[in-house]
Amino acid sequence: MSIVQDAENKPVRDPVSHYQRGGLECIDAMRAISTPEEFRGYLKLTAFKYLWRLGEKDLPVKEAKKAKDYITWLHEELAMQDAKPEGTWADGVRDFAAKAENIPQEIRNMSGVPAAFKK
């Protein structure tokens, strides 16, 4: 997933096909099976990873953009947290279960996947 600019020059998600299965993006599945704290931690640490290795793997501008993408997503998550009362982990599971028909069988069979997704 990457961030592109919309007509108003605001960042928007641009899904890349190798991050999708059955119309569901990997990052959205990760959000659904994580607590809000876990997901924000993932975003923060992934941004840190790209800044840590800046210029060591890819061009610095490319890695800086990836870090910026994760920081943007972290900002969105924090803004959503401020806008609404935080739900429970079960709320996220229920929301995600509504999309369960889009989850590929190999993901449903993974250990640690809640039983609601294994149908």
pLDDT digits (tens, 9 = 90+) for 66-119: 999 999 999 999 998 877 655 565 566 666 666 666 666 666 666 666 565 555
For residues 77 and 106, membership in a common domain is answered with: no
Residue with tokens 């998600």: 13
Question: How many domains, in total, are found in the chain?
Answer: 2
pLDDT at 39: 95
For residues 82 and 92, membership in a common domain is answered with: no
| CA quadruple 27, 29, 33, 39: dihedral, nearest 10 | 10
For residues 3 and 20, membership in a common domain is answered with: yes
Task: Give the residue with greater pLDDT, 94 vs 38.
Answer: 38
Q: Which helix (H) or strand (E) holds 2?
A: strand 2-5
Residue 20 lies in a domain: yes
For residues 81 and 51, membership in a common domain is answered with: yes
For residues 49 and 79, membership in a common domain is answered with: yes
Residue 39 lies in a domain: no
Pick from 12-21, 36-45, 73-82, 101-110 the range whose average pLDDT is largest: 36-45
Residue 40 lies in a domain: no
What ranges in 34-59 are assigned the alpha helix state H?
36-52
For residues 52 and 78, membership in a common domain is answered with: yes
0.85 cut: is pTM over it?
A: no
pLDDT at 27: 85
User: For residues 86 and 91, what is the distance between their CA atoms, to the nearest angstrom?
Assistant: 10
For residues 80 and 52, membership in a common domain is answered with: yes
* Domain region containing 61: 45-86
